[in-house]
Chains A and B, each alone.
Chain A
Amino acid sequence: AQSVAQPEDQVNVAEGNPLTVKCTYSVSGNPYLFWYVQYPNRGLQFLLKYITGDNLVKGSYGFEAEFNKSQTSFHLKKPSALVSDSALYFCAVRDEDSNYQLIWGAGTKLIIKP
Chain B
Amino acid sequence: KNEVEQSPQNLTAQEGEFITINCSYSVGISALHWLQQHPGGGIVSLFMLSSGKKKHGRLIATINIQEKHSSLHITASHPRDSAVYICAAHSGAGSYQLTFGKGTKLSVIP
Q: Do A and B come from one complex?
A: no
**CB within 8 Å of B: which residues of A?**
none
